Structure 1
């Protein structure tokens, strides 16, 4: 199975750059037409439900840092990533400062990779959870 780690890391870095610069046209190109995102607070956003409009009017990121990325290849043309981000900013008039883990799914279609889904979790909450029976 071919290793696309370099390409996927490039896409992750482009995602960060485009979020920081509020570059909606490049975000539109990176996200698949049926992209869906579950935010750490449980709210859901779909691209076809004006995700780009929400981002353009409600997202102000001051700083974002990619801390860790792992890859899991489901098939030759599908990759799951686990990424830890440290973020400082505001989204929907709420402070989003913190560390989050996002699990994302990328899919390759005719030499074009796109982000098709993502789900975010508050990493601090996850890393401090005590296992059942401990």
Structure 2
């Protein structure tokens, strides 16, 4: 089920994979967050981006999802690594629950905790040719 999904992926992400992993006939809501690479950061124009992950990042990602799972709550998440371009999907979180209010709230908690707890680092290249690591800002 959802916990069996590979969490760290070096290929394009498809949000439907996480959604399909959590959806059941008992759910009234499936909420999906899809994080997309944007063309700017902190007032600078971004031209390229690379994500790198700690070797155990998938374990940390699985722990975050497991923290919020329950009998009637399913959560799946995947984060992409490698070179991405503007518009690529970088991260997906899908949460299925009996009711929408709970699904929205949990989805927000899970993505915030992924950003804070999972050791994934972002390397950005800007239009002016400068490149910089964005540690803790995946």
User: Shorter-chain TM-score: which interval?
Assistant: 0.3 to 0.5
TM-score scaled by length of structure 1: 0.33
More strand by share: 1
Query: Per chain length, whose mean CA-contact separation is higher, i.e. which structure has more relative contact order (CA < 8 Å, sep 6+)?
Result: 2
TM-score scaled by length of structure 2: 0.32
